[in-house]
Structure 1
């Protein structure tokens, strides 16, 4: 089955763009669990084994270009997070626990902790997706244009972030 000319050029343009961004290998036929790589991967700078190399056979010569922080085998981030969260006695404690938690790679790219806004214990809680650029900048969930729209929607039903009579709590 032949690709239409426009589709072919679009596909080639996308491939060129990916190469320009530094893509060096194709996705393998089978998925690779990057969190379950062999123990040899624990040392920084080592390349994946040939079994994980995908289409290229020279993967052993290339350095590992992953931004993931290498952890010792003794650190279980999930267990550490569960213990830390269980020790928190209030939302303020939980906020501080999350702010101080060292085993989350997402904090390396973020500017601020986006935890919650509004009145804690409110009968209405709105959960959003992962923080976007504006939320990261302000440290507040539902910031920017999305926040303005949500505030208008809440006002239409007689609720608000800081409304003592009809409170709402927002979180990501």
Structure 2
């Protein structure tokens, strides 16, 4: 039996990309075999040569060491959700909310993402669009919808006479999930108080949810996007109701361009609603 030929460098890179490995975390590769065989024993010898700590010398035999209360312990999802909810409620402005989210450590995605992807556009806009989560390009630039789907979104807005200076764009999840994987339900619930507070502070006249995840999360529906798109909902901020319209995500339209006609119908409905707000009937 002939052995399979070794994969080429191009084939290896393609395999890594398909597996979600699309960026390097360190400047130099890590030799895991070297770490196990050489580095770990060296560390063990170094620890053996160190004098015992005061905790170790005074601890009775058979008693486990006490972990200092200051040790960093990740929050469990329930506690992280409560922490996010309490923190978001304290933000009086978008700037304060962004600063607060920069320091929030209750979501593990923050430690794997390059940067926070907070928002783009005009905070005073009447139209706010919310997607699901940043991708690779967004993670690099720190802005939502700057990749291929972002370019299509720009074209969609231009079709009804708008650009990014006239809308406000954000995501339910402000940090990129590793490898662009789907956010877990726990990650979504942890981040939900932040996007809710962001919507409340922007206070748009119309809210557009892009795609199924953001629609189901923000509008509390289990229906798929094909059943919800084009239908008007009421989004409750706690202080007022905002008209909300789900539509297809630009990334989905790139994969299924035949559905652009449906998105165009939604865009026309958005344009009509904006025109009615600008020129209310006497």
Q: TM-score normalised to the size of structure 2?
A: 0.33
Q: 1:139 maps to what in 2?
A: 142
Q: Unaligned 5+ residue runs, structure 1?
A: 1-20, 22-68
Q: 2:104 and 2:158 mapped to 1: Cα distance?
A: 35
Q: CA deviation at 1:121?
A: 2.9
Q: 2:86 maps to what in 1?
A: 83
Q: 2:106 and 2:75 mapped to 1: Cα distance?
A: 11
Q: Is the 8 A contact 2:129 2:169 kept in 1?
A: yes
Q: CA deviation at 1:116?
A: 0.6
1:127 aligns with 2:130: yes
- Structure number with bigger Rg: 2
Q: 1:94 and 1:133 mapped to 2: Cα distance?
A: 23
Q: 1:46 maps to what in 2?
A: none
Q: 1:160 and 1:93 mapped to 2: Cα distance?
A: 26
Runs of 4+ in 1 over 2 A off after TM superposition: 69-73
Q: 1:100 and 1:92 mapped to 2: Cα distance?
A: 13
Q: 2:170 maps to what in 1?
A: 171
- Secondary structure of the residue that 2:83 maps to in structure 1? helix
Structure having the larger proportion of residues in helix: 2
Indicate how the Cα distance of structure 1 residues 70 and 128 shifts in structure 2: closer, same or farther if over 3 A, else same. Answer: same
Q: 1:138 and 1:81 mapped to 2: Cα distance?
A: 25
Q: Unaligned 5+ residue runs, structure 2?
A: 1-18, 20-71, 172-282
Q: TM-score normalised to the size of structure 1?
A: 0.54
